[in-house]
């Protein structure tokens, strides 16, 4: 088993703690429940607004926040990180493993929730399936950018969760409606840009960033966060020394 | 032709570490060779800071620190030759003991990680509980799992931060014999403790730190003598304090008498001699002794004295 696989294995088992998993499954189940209610109500909803409001704006950033900050931050906080740090391994290997696992988990939840919600709410006819597919691919990719950002925040500060909440709620939420410029560095806008490009033209998904800008932004955030986290971890000083 | 002595496995030259305005380690110079060295000091003295700097987990603010000839800060390659048992109890509780040690072995890139794991588990006497989650271990078992994780790659330098915390007497004895055995194989072992007796039972050499400074270093017996022979002050209660004071003042071991506040306070430069002459003097003067209380016998005051010396 390689170094990255060893760290990924331990990280995966740490992240799949019972309480955290149940909580996030409930969160990811919320849009599915809305889709199910729509289906049971006999009506056929437009999937795009539900996917936008509940998946892109809620499930994706929050699951990525929880997994991203827990993947590295929890170990740094409780001291178990020393068992990985005190090894002759490159710091980027640790960061890749953490981001990989956290991204896969939050991506799996967001994509799974997207597919179920989209099919339940919008069915498989018309543009619905294409819309669902577009959002699923975009959220799956964006999950890695979000988790990389939050893993990097954990390597920088012990208050990564607060940073993440401010980023998601204030920067991408409140400020996005007031300051247009914030959209240029918004993972949410990149997700929407990518989703609307992948979905059929009349999908109803907000256009967000231009697709090429969206890919560039996600790539920059992912690469930049991996770099910053690796550098920070290389110069990491243990917390809580007397 | 003369050959230079090989460098010591651990050496510090004027090493300091501060956090903002707080100085945690203050201008410490020392070198450690093979064998067991005890790092003794009260809580907050700077022991963990020193160990963390040696393990590359903290950057020295000033000075030069070398482990096996290289600065450990930002040098992960050093961890092939160094093991650290941290003081913090947290381990990956969801892993079994075997999985936890094997994770450490794999991250050390050992060719046969399962075999190294089995050896480490046997060394710390944890084979029977190896397949239980570490989260279900007692404090002492967890401590042994941490030691196994630190020595799974057979490092020549082993640093242990308060390794006896939470261990019962049997586990302590086992750990002491294990560390002695490892030291006899030529390893450099440094362990911290705030308990004098632990250090006394295990260490060949001792470093005493207090308030971030190196208060004393060297052979344990010599430092023990310094600690015992320092000036002591006793409060004495008897049937006739004034008469007893008059008799005591004639003795060379006594250099100060104070009868203020209705209490007899005696300062002595020789702990052993004073405790021997006091009952004799009292008996010869037909004075009954009710109480003799050392007023400054806490480890804290011992450390403070060593720093002032």
| pLDDT attached to residue A143 | 97
Please tell me which residue, A42 or B273, carries the higher pLDDT value: B273
CB spacing of B107 vs A87 below 8 angstroms? yes
* pLDDT beyond 60 at A75: yes
Tokens of B212: 């971030």
In angstroms, the Cα distances linking A135 to A107, A183, A205, A207 are 12, 18, 9, 12
Q: How confident is the model at residue A89 (pLDDT cuts 50, 70, 90)?
A: very high
Q: Please give the backbone phi and psi of residue B66, each rounded to the nearest 5 degrees, phi first.
A: -125, 135
State the best of A11, A88, A95, A230 to mutate against chain B, taking most chain B CBs within 10 Å.
A88
Give residue-wise pLDDT tens across range B78-106: 999 999 999 888 899 999 999 999 999 99
Q: What do you get for the CA distance between the two ends of chain A, in Å?
A: 36
Mean pLDDT to the nearest integer, A194-206: 86
Out of A6, A14, A235, name the one closest to residue B107 (CB): A6
Q: How confident is the model at residue B301 (pLDDT cuts 50, 70, 90)?
A: low
pLDDT of residue B304: 67
Contacts of B24 in chain A (CB under 8 A): 241-242
Report pLDDT digits (tens) over A206-229.
887 899 999 999 999 999 999 999
What kind of fold does domain B229-308 have according to CATH?
Answer: Alpha-Beta Plaits (3.30.70)
Residues 6+ positions from A239 with CB-CB distance below 8 Å: A76, A77, A79, A158
pLDDT bucket at A161, cuts 50 / 70 / 90? very high
Check: CB of residue B164 under 8 Å from CB of residue B172.
Answer: yes
Test the B interface: residue of A86, A97, A240 with most B CBs within 10 Å: A86
Chain B CB contacts of A82 under 8 Å are: 57, 84, 86, 88
pLDDT given for residue A207 in this prediction: 81
Band the pLDDT of B148: cuts 50, 70, 90.
very high
Using CB atoms, which residue from B57, B59, B107 is nearest to A89? B107
Contact list in B for residue A89 (CB cut-off 8 A) is 76, 107
Mean pLDDT taken over chain B: 88
Judged by DSSP in three states, A125 sits in coil
Q: What is the pTM of this model?
A: 0.84
% of chain B exceeding 70 in pLDDT: 91
Q: Are the CB atoms for B107 and B160 separated by under 8 Å? A: no
Which of A121-130, A141-150, B7-16 comes out lowest in average pLDDT? A121-130
The token pair at A180 is 């247009």
Q: How far is A145 from chain B (nearest CA, A)?
A: 27
Q: Which residue of A has its CA nearest to B80?
A: A88
Res. B307 pLDDT band, cuts 50 70 90:
low
Q: Find chain A residues with C-beta within 8 A of B44's C-beta.
A: 242
Contact map slice: B 120-179 vs A, CB within 8 A: 149
Sign of CA dihedral B35, B41, B42, B47: negative
pLDDT for res A44: 65
For position A73, what pLDDT does the model report?
93
Check residues A135 and A44 and name the one with the higher pLDDT. A135
Average pLDDT rounded to a whole number, residues B55-82: 95
Residues of chain A numbered 47-106 and touching chain B (CB < 8 Å) = 78-80, 82-91
Interchain contact, B78 vs A240, CB within 8 Å = no
Q: Residue B147 has what pLDDT?
A: 93
Distance from CA of B59 to the nearest CA of A (A): 7
Distance between CA atoms of residues B49 and B15, nearest Å? 11
SS (H, E, C) chain B: CCCCCCCCCEEEEEEEEEECCEEEEEEEEEEECCEEEEEECCCCCCHHHHHHHHCCCCCCCEEEEEECCECCCCCHHHHHCEEEECCCCCCCCCCEHHHHHHHHHHHCCCCCHHHHHHHHHHHCCCCCCCCCEHHHCCHHHHHHHHHHHHHCCCCCEEEECCCCCCCCHHHHHHHHHHHHHHHHCCCEEEEEECCHHHHHHHCCEEEEEECCEEEEEEEHHHHHHHHHCCCEEEEEEECCHHHHHHHHCCCCCEEEEECHHHCEEEEECCHHHHHHHHHHHHHHCCCCEEEEEECCCCHHHHHHHHHHC
Nearest to A188 by CA among A45, A25, A53, A49: A53
**Domain layout of chain B by residue ranges:** 10-220, 229-308
Task: Return the pLDDT at B295.
Answer: 74
Nearest to B94 among A7, A14, A86 (CB): A14
Q: How confident is the model at residue A236 (pLDDT cuts 50, 70, 90)?
A: very high
Per CB-CB distance under 8 Å, the chain B contacts of A83 are 91-92, 100, 103-104, 107, 149
pLDDT tier at B2 (50, 70, 90 boundaries)?
Answer: low
Predicted confidence (pLDDT) at residue B1 exceeds the cutoff of 80:
no
Q: Residue A123: what pLDDT? A: 79
Is there a contact between B299 and B196 (Cβ–Cβ < 8 Å)? yes
pLDDT band at B42 (very low <50, low <70, confident <90, very high): confident
Write out the two tokens for B116: 């190294």
Q: What is the pLDDT of residues B151-191, one digit of tens each?
A: 999 999 999 999 988 788 888 888 899 899 989 999 999 99
Confidence of residue A47 (pLDDT cuts 50, 70, 90): confident
Q: Residue B184 has what pLDDT?
A: 92
Fold exhibited by the domain B10-220: Rossmann fold (3.40.50)
Residues of A within 8 A of B83 (CB-CB) are 86
Q: What percent of chain A has pLDDT over 90?
A: 71
Mean pLDDT of B30-52: 91
For position B274, what pLDDT does the model report?
85
Q: Which residue has the higher pLDDT, B56 or B295?
A: B56
The yes-or-no verdict on residue B227 having pLDDT over 80 is no
């Amino acid at each position: 088993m390689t170094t990255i696989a060893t760290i990924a294995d331990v990280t995966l088992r740490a992240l799949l703690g019972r309480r955290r998993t149940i909580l996030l499954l409930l969160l990811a189940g919320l849009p599915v429940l809305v889709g199910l209610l729509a289906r049971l109500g006999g009506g056929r909803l437009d999937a795009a607004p539900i996917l936008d409001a509940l998946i892109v704006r809620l499930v994706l950033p929050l699951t990525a926040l929880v997994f991203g900050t827990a993947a590295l931050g929890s170990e740094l906080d409780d001291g178990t990180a020393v068992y990985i740090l005190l090894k002759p391994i490159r710091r980027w290997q640790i960061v890749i493993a953490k981001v990989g696992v956290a991204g896969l988990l939050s991506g799996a939840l967001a994509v799974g929730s997207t597919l179920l919600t989209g099919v339940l709410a919008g069915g498989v006819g018309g543009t619905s399936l294409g819309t669902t597919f577009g959002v699923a691919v975009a959220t799956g990719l964006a999950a890695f950018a979000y988790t990389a950002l939050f893993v990097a925040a954990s390597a920088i500060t012990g208050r990564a969760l607060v940073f993440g909440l401010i980023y998601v709620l204030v920067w991408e939420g409140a400020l996005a409606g007031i300051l247009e410029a914030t959209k240029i560095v918004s993972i949410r806008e990149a997700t929407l840009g990518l989703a609307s490009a992948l979905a059929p033209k009349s999908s109803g998904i907000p256009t967000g960033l231009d697709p090429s800008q969206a890919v560039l932004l996600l790539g920059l955030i992912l690469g930049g966060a991996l770099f910053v986290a690796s550098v920070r971890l290389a110069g990491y000083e243990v917390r809580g020394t007397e | 032709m003369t050959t230079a002595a090989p460098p010591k496995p651990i050496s510090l030259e004027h090493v300091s570490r501060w956090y903002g305005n707080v100085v945690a380690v203050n201008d410490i110079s020392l070198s450690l060779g093979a064998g067991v060295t005890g790092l003794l000091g009260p809580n907050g003295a700077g022991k963990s800071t020193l160990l963390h700097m040696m393990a590359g987990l903290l950057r020295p603010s000033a000075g030069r620190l070398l482990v096996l000839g290289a600065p450990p800060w930002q040098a992960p390659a050093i961890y092939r030759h160094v093991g650290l048992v941290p003081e913090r109890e947290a381990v990956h509780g969801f892993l079994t003991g075997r999985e936890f040690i094997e994770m450490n072995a794999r991250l050390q890139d050992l060719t046969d990680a399962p075999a190294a794991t089995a050896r480490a588990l046997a060394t710390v006497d944890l084979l029977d509980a190896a397949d239980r989650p570490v989260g279900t271990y007692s404090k002492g078992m967890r401590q042994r799992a941490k030691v196994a994780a630190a020595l799974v790659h057979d490092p020549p330098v082993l640093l242990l931060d308060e390794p006896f915390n939470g261990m019962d007497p049997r586990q302590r004895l086992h750990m002491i014999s294990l560390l002695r055995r490892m030291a006899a194989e030529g390893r450099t072992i440094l362990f911290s403790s705030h308990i004098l007796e632990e250090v006394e039972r295990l260490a060949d050499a001792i470093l005493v730190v207090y308030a971030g400074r190196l208060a004393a270093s060297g052979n344990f017996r010599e430092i023990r003598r310094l600690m015992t022979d320092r000036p002591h002050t006793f409060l004495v209660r008897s049937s006739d304090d004034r008469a007893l004071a008059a008799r005591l003042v004639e003795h060379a071991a006594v250099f100060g008498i104070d009868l203020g506040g209705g209490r007899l306070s005696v300062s002595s430069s020789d702990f052993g001699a004073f405790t021997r002459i006091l009952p004799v003097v009292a008996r010869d003067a037909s004075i009954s002794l009710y109480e003799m209380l050392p007023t400054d016998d806490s480890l804290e005051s011992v450390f403070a004295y060593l720093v002032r010396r």
